Structure 1
Amino acid sequence: MLWNAKEISLYLKEKAYIDTIIVPLLPISFSDRTKQEAEQAEFITLLTNLLERQFKGRMLLVPPFTYLSEEDAQHRLEKLQKWIQEFESRQFDHVFCLTSDSGWKEFESDLDGKLIWMPSIPLEHMEEKYKRKIVDDQVNQLVKLIVQKWQTN
């Protein structure tokens, strides 16, 4: 389910069946990494939207956790942990944070298996048919990973 009025109304009626939240983690900066971070945002947004479609009725895609790249990493982690605690207190059994920012990898253990890191693939100059194939392959990997995590919890 998407974070919009129509689908949230449905979520409120059916929330007993929606046990998973997906949180895109998106860095922003206006530095030499700006274009790379925009590519990451495009890639992660595309992946999370397709993932949500695969699991509609079981998964809620929330707005991205957006942060400044230059922000203190520990502070960023603490803010994300507050988000996760809030979701878990609202009866979400599974929270997955999806990112292409390798800076999060150092906090994998702090996020208790909730972090999914995917290397970003620049899609800007790719032909549509190749772009679709690559993204579909990535989504299929994510589907398998999430189903596996559901089964182990």
Structure 2
Amino acid sequence: MRVFAGLDEVKAAKGEELGSSDWHLVTQEQVNLFADATEDHQWIHVDLEKAAKGPFGGPVAHGYLTLSMLAKFSGQLWRVDGLSMAVNYGLNKVRFPQPVLVGKRIRAHGRLLDVAENKMGLQVTVQITVEIEGEDKPGCVAESLALLVP
């Protein structure tokens, strides 16, 4: 994990890599719970028999499930000490280049793309790439925005 002592260190790190998160195993239980929470029960996610005969050879995680893992992964990639709060400010580009099969492990890599002054503090843009173990293409690439308030 990359730990910054304050906003000045964050500003100085623009363009730098933040490292990698821990690996996370995507389970069918996790996919099913996400399907229940979002009411998205498409067969490619939850019907094991049909998904095995489908285009991916098995059930896949929802793209938005993969994207939601950025909350966990970001907390493992970096933090800034001495803040009163850090707030998710949104997303820019989000892509899902390859589906994440159930049973695969994923992890994130981060890079601090941009830093901009904001009336409340500092707005940062972090590119997060979700790697799928053993695959050439990532499961997700997103630009995550955060507002850092001193």
TM over 0.5: no
Structure with more of its chain in strand, by fraction: 2
If you compute each CA radius of gyration, which structure gives the higher value, 1 or 2?
A: 2
Structure with more of its chain in helix, by fraction: 1
The TM-score, its normalising length taken from structure 1, stands at 0.28
